[in-house]
Structure 1
Amino acid sequence: MNDRKSKSPFGDLGVSVAIQNLNLKYQQKLVLRDLNWTINRGENWILGGISGTGKTSLAKIIAGQQSALGDIKVSFAINSILPPEILFVESWYQFKNLEGVANFYYQQRYTSQQAKDTLTVHAELVNYGKEKGLHFDQIEPILEALNFSSFASSQLIELSSGEHKKLQLVKALWLKPQLLIIDQPYTGLDASSRKNLNILLDEVSAQGVQLILICNDTELPNSINHFAEIKDGQLIEVDSLELATDTQKHEREIPDFLKESPVYSSQSIVKMVDVNISYGEKQVLKNINWEVKAGEKWLLQGHNGSGKSTLLSLINGDHPQSYANELYLFGNRRGSGESIWDIKQHIGLISPEFHWYFDATSTVWQSIASGFYDTVGLFQQLPYSKSAQVDELVEYFGLTASKNELLSTLPLGKQRLVLLARTIIKNPELLILDEPCQGLDQQQTQHFNQLIDELCGNGMTLIYVGHFESQLPTCIEKRILLEKGEVKVVENILESV
């Protein structure tokens, strides 16, 4: 049973929202159907359930960012010192360069020119504070709690997905709007940051901020007192212990071409010898020594900002400083004549950042097929054998009904499944999965990790980045832990359990 507080101490100053007969149709499909929802003053909600049910769309409608048919009435507290605003924090943050352009390419975050293209974190926060009339001395406790103070001089384009999430959260907690809606608040955050975020959310709730969090997480702020899901287009209040997940079992057999072992070009997949990476005076990686051998399954962990994304960019051939280090990939020293595409043909990659920059105008089928050529869109005709493999994966992931739809039109969870299919289409020697289950619900996460266990049982090499210990493939054997750019731990997980 839900034993949480039923009202905030500032409930009489809170926001009330009345939604009646809300309807939303998307591409001829009715997503929200005569939806009704009453949010009373002092109520803090979790909106959970399976991907694709319209949770994000509903949040955008409440925040006035998306139109729909129906009645929405928002009553702000007149006597509150908090701004009468509804702030919607999206799952992903879309930043722009100094010229107002947002169309960056994936490798651009690692080049030396980006410093001239985007604002620093400090400049971004200064601009936001001026725009909203906020006092800068109030932000430092938030930065410290989320371990974000050290990123003041970092360029926006240099930030990882978890760091961008923190920047959004810092702004929201600094503003303290009367109604704060956060889509996937814990995405990309390490365990310490998740815990501190809950404390901060409870603090602002006690000051009168009402919360709507879109997530299926179990470790939540104490101030949450109502739970709901969207089912068949309508909102249903549920008990906190019974948030729905997709209970349908996935019984399709893995395609035959993914049951075969990868053809290895070398028994040494990755070898780093005293690798160092710096941006100006800021050293991101310090004296990294690490070897990944064929068939090994590694877990890569570390707090946000520990250097994980930079380490992976070296392996994937995206980082220009790899030439200045002693780095061996698939048996060859980096810089011995191989191109970035020679490296990528051995690798299957998925990461939040790659998802950001992927061509959202490709169809589902084209997106998966592009994995054969490591492109962000399909620019050539596939031979019959490869087309058949795409069809097999489309069927396996349950995407047949969506195969001709644009990737950008799918819910985030399904977009991620499409990119997962793209990642494994060529049965690569090395699978790099950087927070692969961001945006997926519990059932989808479990299914994906079962798939990885099955794939890696046939000899594929794996580097898996994940913060949640309970949401990892069981095949993982070894762990490397980074701390402030240095290797803190290298261990055999099976022996340490």
Structure 2
Amino acid sequence: MMSQPVVHITNLNLKYQQKPVLTDLNWTINRGENWVLGGKSGSGKTSLAKVMVRLQNAIGEVNINFNPNSTLPKQALFVESWYQFKNLEGVANFYYQQRYTSQQAKDTLTVHAELVGYGKENSLHFDDVEPILEALNFATFASSQLIELSSGEHKKLQLVKALWLKPQLLIIDQPYTGLDAGSRKNLNTLLEEKSAEGVQLILICNDAELPSCLNRFAEIRDGKLIEVDSIATVESTYNSQRQIPDFLKDSPVYASNSLVKMVNVNISYGDKQVLKNINWDVKAGEKWLLQGHNGSGKSTLLSLVNGDHPQSYANELYLFGSKRGSGESIWDIKQHIGLISPEFHWYFDANSTVWQSIASGFYNTVGLFQQLPYTKSTQVDELVEYFGLTESKNELLSTLPLGKQRLVLLARTIIKNPELLILDEPCQGLDGQQTQYFNQLVDELCSNGMTLIYVGHFESQLPTCLEKRLLLEKGEVKSVENINLEILN
């Protein structure tokens, strides 16, 4: 007699705002099968996972049969693509600059306290989590407040908890988001170990470097689950034939040849030094790649450039030709900059429509609070069309799939044709075609003279225009070098 399938889904139907997402979807997962669920952004992958773990309602049957003979928890755990944390009062309404304001950072738990609470809640032994912390290079973050963590560090915390719990069924949405190359490799080893111990895996991603225990591949196409031979065969039909709007073809007007200059910059939180003796000069028109392991100080460095860090004034820092603290406001600085980062996405006003979100880029706000003049309105319309967002322009940002939300914020970033474009992991949540499309756009924008600082861990997902690289290690500049990604790619 054959054993029951672990997961049996029959005729699953889900609509979102009257639009079909899943249509008569069927899926059977047998014991020993570890699946990759890939495909286009917005095809319904995350929705399907949420239905499986009862976080979302749908019509149809979902049966999960846990192994009664296994010592692992009889649980199906879903690890979301983003980590949602709260302050000590149980509230999650943080604002962007708050993560750099050390006094307010004491509002949230430390990593250690969060793990202690999680261990007690799930009757886990603390000794068992230490090898996982070491493998993901996360042991040194024990005393860090949750609000101080970057997106890659938050992803690590999610993964540590999931791997520590070892549920019978583990579904991870975008497992590699924000992780450096070493952490990705170590994560794959950990996943293989847990699989060997009886954890069945479903990874939602389009990544090529996967654990060897992954043996089945599928995508969602027209609301149905389609099994494919490998992740490389997943279809994506993103239209990248549109012409860049004319207003983005103009070269930015630079007030100074030096956009960013740091002289022996140091940043500390108490006894913890995050940046040490940083010297960096970014000149007009240069295209920089900023890299370093998770926790190397990249986010803090960018917060200085963007005017968000309160310790800017205690350092010798020049932005757009003016010494920081010489009378300029934070809004004067932001007028020169277009920024996208995972952290900024977390704190963005999700109750704005797509159109309003893009338009707010003119005023550096997290929502649109004033009427746009005709010329600016036309530019928003052109960018909505260029990014293929016309059908969604009046929808709330929060109702869109993660990949489309990211495209909206990318459009917001470039709407004012800024002198300096800061793109921190801009392609998180985008599928392969969207990533390629966006990086082609970056190359085109930068050919018109825009200055670029780009943070990216995946060498295969970078624009080819990058020409210089700053590598950080433990808060110090490890190397500065010229690169040519056109040759590398």
TM-score (norm 2): 0.98
Report how far residue 241 of structure 1 moved: 5.0
Residue matched to 1:472: 462
Residue 429 in 1 paired to residue 429 in 2? no
Q: The residue matched to 1:134 in structure 2 has which SS? A: coil
**CA distance change for structure 1 residues 13 and 328 in 2, over 3 Å: closer, same or farther?**
farther
Q: 2:81 aligns with which of 91, 95, 101?
A: 91
Alpha carbons 1:14, 1:210 under 8 Å: kept: no
Q: Does 1:244 align with 2:234?
A: yes
Which residue in the other structure is 2:31 paired with?
41
Name 1:446's counterpart in structure 2. 436
Counterpart CA distance in 2 for 1:114 and 1:347 is 26
Question: 1:362 is matched with which residue?
Answer: 352
- Tell me, yes or no, if the aligned pair for 1:13 and 1:208 is still in contact at 8 Å: no
Q: Give the alignment partner of residue 282 of structure 1, picking from 267, 272, 280.
A: 272
For residue 494 of structure 1, report the CA deviation from its aligned partner: 3.2
Secondary structure in structure 2 of the residue aligned to 1:97:
coil
1:297 corresponds to which letter in structure 2?
K
Q: CA RMSD in A?
A: 1.3
Q: How far 1:132 sits from its partner (Å)?
A: 0.2
Letter of the structure 2 residue corresponding to residue 144 of structure 1? E
Structure-1 separation of matches of 2:105 and 2:29: 44
Following TM superposition, by how much is the alpha carbon of 1:246 offset from its aligned partner in structure 2, in angstroms? Answer: 1.7
Indicate conservation of the 8 Å contact 1:14/1:76, yes or no. Answer: no
Q: Which moved more, 1:246-255 or 1:19-28?
A: 246-255
Work out the CA distance in 2 between the residues paired with 1:51 and 1:216. 10
Question: Does structure 2 retain, via aligned residues, the 8 Å contact 1:189–1:304?
Answer: yes
Deviations along 1:2-55, one digit per CA (max 9) or x if unpaired, are xxxxxxxxxx99970100000000001010000000011111000000100000
Alignment partners' CA distance in 2, 1:115 and 1:428: 31
Which residue of structure 1 lines up, in the alignment, with residue 337 of structure 2?
347
TM-fit CA distance, 1:303: 0.3
SS in 2 for 1:287: strand
**Native 8 Å contact 1:14 1:77 kept in 2:** no
Partner of 1:8: none
1:170-185 pair list within 5 angstroms: 170-185=160-175
Which whole-Å CA distance do the structure 1 matches of 2:5 and 2:235 have between them? 29
Partner of 1:334: 324
Q: Distance in 1 between matches of 2:232 and 2:73?
A: 34
Query: 1:231 — aligned with what?
Result: 221
Q: Structure 1 residue 63 and structure 2 residue 75: aligned? A: no
Q: Is the 8 A contact 2:6 2:66 kept in 1?
A: yes
Is 2:407 the partner of 1:407? no
| Residue correspondence of structure 1 range 185-334 to structure 2 within 5 A | 185-240=175-230, 242-334=232-324
State the shift of 1:383 in Å. Answer: 0.3
Counterpart of 2:103, as a letter, is Q
- Aligned 1:10-49 pairs, distance under 5 A: 16-49=6-39
Q: 1:390 & 1:213 partners in 2: Cα distance? A: 36
- The change in CA–CA distance for 1:373 and 1:14 in structure 2 (over 3 A counts) is farther
Give the Cα separation in 1 of the matches to 2:366 and 2:269.
Answer: 27
Aligned-partner Cα distance in 2 for 1:248–1:65: 29
Deviates more, 1:452-461 or 1:109-118: 109-118
Residue identity opposite 2:135 in structure 1: A
Give me the whole-angstrom Cα distance separating, in 2, the residues matched to 1:14 and 1:257.
Answer: 60
Amino acid at match of 1:346: H
The alpha-carbon distance between structure 1 residues 156 and 320, as it changes in their structure 2 partners (threshold 3 A), is same
User: In 2, Cα distance between the equivalents of 1:382 and 1:326?
Assistant: 37
Give, in angstroms, the shift of residue 265 of structure 1. Answer: 1.1
CA distance in 2, matches of 1:227, 1:365: 36
| Selected match of 1:418 from 390, 405, 408 | 408
Q: Is the 8 A contact 2:265 2:277 kept in 1?
A: yes
Matched residue type, 1:276: N
Q: Answer yes or no: is the 8 Å Cα contact 2:464–2:484 preserved in 1.
A: no
Paired AA for residue 368 in structure 1 = I
CA contact (8 A) 1:15 1:210 kept: no
- Any idea what the Cα deviations from partners look like across 1:316-350, whole Å, max 9, x if unmatched? 00000000000000000000000100100000000
Counterpart pick for 2:386 among 396, 402, 418: 396
Rounded to whole Å, the distance in 2 between the matches of 1:267 and 1:248 is 37
The equivalent residue for 1:154 is 144
Report percent identity of matched pairs. Answer: 82
Consecutive unaligned residues in structure 1, runs of 5 or more: 1-11
TM-superposed CA distance for 1:250, in Å, is 1.4
Q: 2:11, 2:24 within 8 Å by CA — same for their partners in 1?
A: yes
* Contact 2:5 2:28 (C-alpha < 8 Å) held by counterparts: no
d(CA) in 1 for partners of 2:79 and 2:364? 32
SS across alignment from 1:475: coil
**How many Å apart are 1:249 and its aligned residue?**
3.8
Residue identity in the other structure for 1:117: D
Q: 1:237 to 1:154 in 2, by over 3 A?
A: same
Contact in 1 for aligned 2:217/2:231 (Cα 8 Å): no
* Counterparts of 1:71 and 1:493, CA distance in 2: 53
Q: CA deviation at 1:142?
A: 0.2
Report deviation, 1:113: 1.6
- Cα distance between partner residues in 2 of 1:485 and 1:403: 41
1:3 equivalent in structure 2: none
- Secondary structure at the aligned position of 2:251 is classed as coil
Q: Which digits, 9 at most, give the CA deviation of each residue in 1:162-193, with x for residues without a partner?
A: 00000000000000000000000000000000
Cα drift, residue 243 of structure 1: 3.2
* Corresponding residue of 1:5: none
Three-state SS of the structure 1 residue aligned to 2:438 is helix
Whole-Å Cα distance in 1 between the matches of residues 91 and 233 of structure 2? 39
2:49 partner SS: helix
Q: 1:362, 1:377 within 8 Å by CA — same for their partners in 2?
A: yes
